[in-house]
Amino acid sequence: MATIPDFDNEKQIIEYYQSLQQEYQSIQQKIVEIESDLREHELVVTALADMDDSRRCYRLVGGVMVERTVGQVVPAVEKNKAGIEDLIEKMGQQLDIKGTMIKAVQEKYNIRFRDSRAAQQADVGAASSQSDTRSGVLA
């Protein structure tokens, strides 16, 4: 795991923390996209499983439609599927590392988030205490 750098001011800490969060979110989004590709590959393998190996089928390779047989396409799709599964696993590990780094930064620099409900109640409480201190007669 990468070490957490020391910063001179609060602004640098916030920028670093936000960049970690953005990287974390981009990895999450990429995993979702890749999982979608994996589901498509699984669908193709399932659809072609019951077909005759000599049957013609078409496969999109690099933006070009190529005619092949089911027997040629299924192993290639399964190989790609295995590669996608490995990629998802590696990206999941990267996601775990980023999450650990984010938690470490939170602990090192005591980063906390104000709960929106607690913040609203504090604001309402402050407003009501101000109105209590201003006692006056309304005409």
Structural domain count of the chain: 1
Tell which residue, 107, 105, 103, 98, has the closest CA to residue 12: 105
Q: What is the mean pLDDT of each run of 10 residues along the chain (139 residues)?
A: 85 95 98 98 97 96 96 97 99 98 94 73 58 49
Residue 138: what pLDDT? 47
Task: Specify if 51 maps to a domain.
Answer: yes
What domain range is 58 assigned to? 10-111
Residue 113: what pLDDT? 83
Task: Specify if 137 maps to a domain.
Answer: no
Task: Specify if 39 maps to a domain.
Answer: yes
Residue 139: what pLDDT? 45
pTM: 0.77
Task: Specify if 81 maps to a domain.
Answer: yes
Task: Specify if 33 maps to a domain.
Answer: yes
- Count Cβ neighbours within 10 Å for each residue of 40-77 and write b for 16 or more, e otherwise: ebeebeeebeeeeeeeebeeeeeeeeeeeebeebbeeb
